[in-house]
Amino acid sequence: MNAYTYIHTPVRRFLARLALVSIMTASIAQAQNLISSAEFFDPDFEVRRPGVANFTGLTVDTALYTPDPASQTAGNVAWSHSAGGLVQAGIEGIVDQQLAAYTRTQADSLIFGRELQTSLLGVISDEDLTDLTNDVVGASVINTWFTTATVANLNLSQGVLYSVNFEVTMGDGIGLNALSYANFTLLNGETPIQGVNMAQTLNLLDFITVGPDASNIEVQFYAPGGLTDIGFEFEAATVADVNLLGGITDNQTVLEFTNFSVAPVPEAGSMILSALGFIFILRRRRL
């Protein structure tokens, strides 16, 4: 009779359950992130359409603006930002005011937003400045954001199921009806990757909720053969109704993407086999 025989049956059951949980936890832990949020949103930089120098009057520009060079890189991640939507008003030599859509990677997030900037170059009355500001923020303009992150030097196994997870938060005071679209796409080069739970493009408006709480997004996909680089495309646009975007005094977040990760999905079969193997060993020790 060995020492194990002296352990009471309830204790053995507890130990068996504890070991089973440990095995399943270990199996899940094997699915470590291939991409983590801390490294994904680097480098920090912003893109917005620049205004016209020495401008007088009021103008609206909705064309998508992409800088040259179009991308910036940190480590294995390359970001390409574009943004469209600029309202500019000014009096040459006195004041210049611009309301521009911008795309920005900052800390551990991607932000689609708008920014109001005022440059006082001379003397202007408060009343005239207020009138100018009202003209700028009251102009209805379509704002567009488009950005792609390409992560290189990955080793994704063909036929293995992977999961992409991130969170999306709407800006304060902005409703879903302010957006005409918001999409997410996986890319193999320039070719969209078909997801398990999506077509070639995921319509984020089906998942985003209004308010301060973030909406969790998950996309699962089977890796194509020989996939070492993968692209992640985020895009959105507003409708041409300034009232739906609420007021703005300086900076306004429209959409914010955070907590991004990519990891292989643990196979249920391997976890079950591990658990059954432990139970078999435990039963043999009882004999």
Contacts of 281 (CB under 8 A, 6+ apart): none
pLDDT of residue 215: 95
Q: State pTM to two decimals.
A: 0.83
Q: Which tokens is 63 given?
A: 């064309």
Identify the three-state secondary structure at position 201: coil
Dihedral sign for Cα atoms in the order 180, 182, 186, 187? positive
Q: Check if the beta carbon of residue 116 is closer than 8 Å to that of residue 249.
A: yes
Buried-exposed string 27-51: b where 16+ CB fall within 10 A, e elsewhere: beeeeebebebeebbbeeeebbbeb
Say how far apart CA 79 and CA 106 lie, in whole Å: 12
CA distances from 75 to 43, 151, 189, 193, 255 (A): 9, 9, 19, 24, 25
Q: How many residues does the chain have?
A: 287
Ranges of residues in the chain whose predicted pLDDT is under 50: 2-7, 11, 14-16, 18-31, 269-285
CA–CA separation, 231 vs 37, rounded Å?
15
Q: Which two tokens stand for residue 55?
A: 């401008």
Q: Is 111 exposed, middle or buried (0-12, 13-18, 19+ CB in 10 A)?
A: buried
pLDDT tens-digit series, residues 181-225: 999 999 999 999 988 878 789 999 999 988 788 999 999 999 988
Q: How far apart are CA 154 and CA 148, in angstroms?
A: 17
Measured at the CA of 110, the angle between CA 265 and CA 210, to 5 degrees, comes to 85
Average pLDDT along the chain:
85
Bridge partners for 220 per DSSP: 163
Which residues, at least 6 apart from 36, have a Cβ–Cβ distance to it below 8 Å? 260, 261
Where does the chain have alpha helices with state H? 9-29, 37-40, 126-137, 268-286
b vs e for 67-90, b when ≥16 Cβ sit within 10 Å of the residue's Cβ? beeebbeeeebbbbbbbbbbbbbb
